[in-house]
């Protein structure tokens, strides 16, 4: 009888221990922010490099205008996270040709698709692919969203919104997945529940730190480069003014171009061209400078009517002409000139510009 009196005490301590253990387990699964360390940022690379938007304006087109509010809602939190690091603005355009971010809504996304390096999935709700980029960053990204779920039924709007928020992170430069199960950029984010068993519908601290760290890493080398550019620009300007020759003015034009002063660079390129004894690379740089200012009609004029005699047989200049024609939405002429450029120089087909142009012409 006396031994039974200890049972309540034993039960009390046992229950207390179980309760303490449960609280420790619960605490271990509460959303924790992952610090965006350099090692973690490295997982966000595409083909070994950080790939982000350098321009502040992202031109967007979608084949379903009724989904514009959802797209804007998915873009807004990422835009807010980057406000202090790298301002981004969404700009709607009327045609897919003018879009740098092309968003397509389809019934189902074509399979098979390699989603991660480790595995394949039988159903994809959203897919984001960088289609065109260069050393300065992203030029075109294509996003796809499935309007039907894995059972062939209409996708729930709540699920679609969460998929769009996750994929927007990819589109803005996060090409990997977070290891934190509570981050939006975790691979299983759509099915993740928070401590209260409710769906997580907003960016977590880890997401914010991650996107800021990615853009900070990209811009840090650029900041150092800009300091060097200002010195090089001053020296080039002084040399061009003291001893104006084709080479000195060309060097000054290049320094202006590298500093993104394209209008001033165009003036200097024209001064260099006025000397008469010019070459194809100089002419090409001048035309590309006009393109950067969206003066495609002028660029085409210089590549056609005003192209110096003898340069018509330069394959690289003809390739650039095809590129300008495509920008002006003259695709039939662009294809003809592209083929002419390859006849002049077959190796251009494997060049970065040649490959990009071939892909654009196939669309």
Average pLDDT, integer, range 76-104: 91
Q: In the chain, which residues fall in CATH 3.40.390.10?
A: 38-217
Residue 18: per-residue pLDDT:
41
The architecture in CATH of the region 243-362 reads Alpha Horseshoe (1.25)
Q: In the chain, which residues fall in CATH 1.25.40.10?
A: 243-362
The DSSP secondary structure of 248-269, one letter per residue, reads HHHHHHHHHHHTT-HHHHHHHH
Given a cut of 60, is residue 30 above it in pLDDT? no
Give the pLDDT confidence of 267-325 residue by residue, as tens digits: 999 999 888 766 888 888 999 888 888 888 898 998 888 877 777 788 889 999 998 99
Residue 182: per-residue pLDDT:
85
Give the pLDDT confidence of 114-140 residue by residue, as tens digits: 444 444 456 888 999 998 887 778 889
Residue 111: per-residue pLDDT:
65
Give exposure, 265-297, as e/b (b: 16+ Cβ within 10 Å): bbebbebbbeeeebebebbbbbbbbbbeeebbe
pLDDT category at 168 given cuts 50, 70, 90 is very high
Average pLDDT, integer, range 234-243: 89
- Whole-number average pLDDT of the chain: 80
CB 171 within 8 A of CB 141: yes
| pLDDT > 70: percent of the chain | 79
Given a cut of 70, is residue 226 above it in pLDDT? no
Residue 36: per-residue pLDDT:
39
Closest CA to 182 of 145, 157, 210, 156: 210
For the segment(s) 38-217, the CATH number from 3.40.50.300, 3.40.190.10, 3.40.390.10, 3.30.1130.10 is 3.40.390.10
Of 222 and 288, more confident: 288
- What CA–CA distance (Å, rounded) separates 349 from 361? 13
């Amino acid at each position: 009888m006396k031994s039974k009196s200890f049972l309540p005490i034993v039960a009390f301590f046992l229950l207390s221990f179980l309760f303490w253990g449960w609280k420790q387990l619960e605490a271990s699964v509460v959303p924790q922010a992952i610090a965006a360390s350099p090692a973690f940022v490295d997982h966000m690379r595409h083909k070994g490099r950080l790939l982000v938007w350098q321009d502040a304006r992202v031109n967007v087109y979608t084949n379903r205008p009724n989904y514009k509010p959802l797209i804007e809602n998915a873009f807004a939190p990422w835009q807010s996270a980057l406000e202090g690091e790298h301002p981004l603005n969404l700009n709607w355009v009327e045609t897919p040709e003018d879009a740098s971010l092309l968003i397509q809504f389809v019934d189902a996304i074509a399979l098979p698709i390699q989603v991660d390096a480790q595995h394949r999935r039988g159903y994809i709700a959203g897919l984001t692919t960088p289609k065109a980029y260069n050393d300065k960053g992203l030029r075109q990204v294509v996003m796809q969203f499935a309007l039907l779920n894995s059972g062939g039924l209409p996708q729930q709007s709540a699920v679609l919104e969460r998929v769009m928020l996750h994929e927007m992170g990819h589109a803005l430069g996060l090409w990997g997945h977070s290891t934190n199960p509570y981050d939006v950029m975790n691979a299983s984010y759509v099915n993740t529940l928070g401590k209260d068993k409710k769906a997580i519908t907003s960016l977590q601290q880890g997401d914010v730190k991650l996107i800021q760290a990615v853009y900070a890493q990209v811009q840090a080398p650029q900041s150092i480069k800009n300091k060097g550019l200002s010195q090089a620009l001053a020296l080039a300007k002084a040399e061009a003014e003291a001893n104006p020759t084709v080479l000195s003015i060309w060097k000054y034009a290049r320094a202006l171009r590298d500093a993104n002063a394209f209008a001033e660079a165009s003036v200097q390129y024209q001064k260099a061209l006025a000397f008469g004894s010019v070459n194809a690379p100089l002419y090409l740089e001048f035309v590309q400078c006009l393109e950067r200012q969206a003066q495609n009609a002028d660029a085409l004029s210089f590549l056609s009517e005003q192209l110096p005699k003898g340069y018509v047989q330069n394959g690289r200049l003809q390739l650039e002409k095809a590129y300008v024609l495509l920008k002006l939405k003259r695709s039939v002429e662009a294809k003809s000139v592209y083929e002419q450029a390859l006849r002049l120089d077959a190796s251009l087909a494997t060049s970065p510009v040649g490959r990009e142009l071939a892909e654009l012409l196939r669309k």
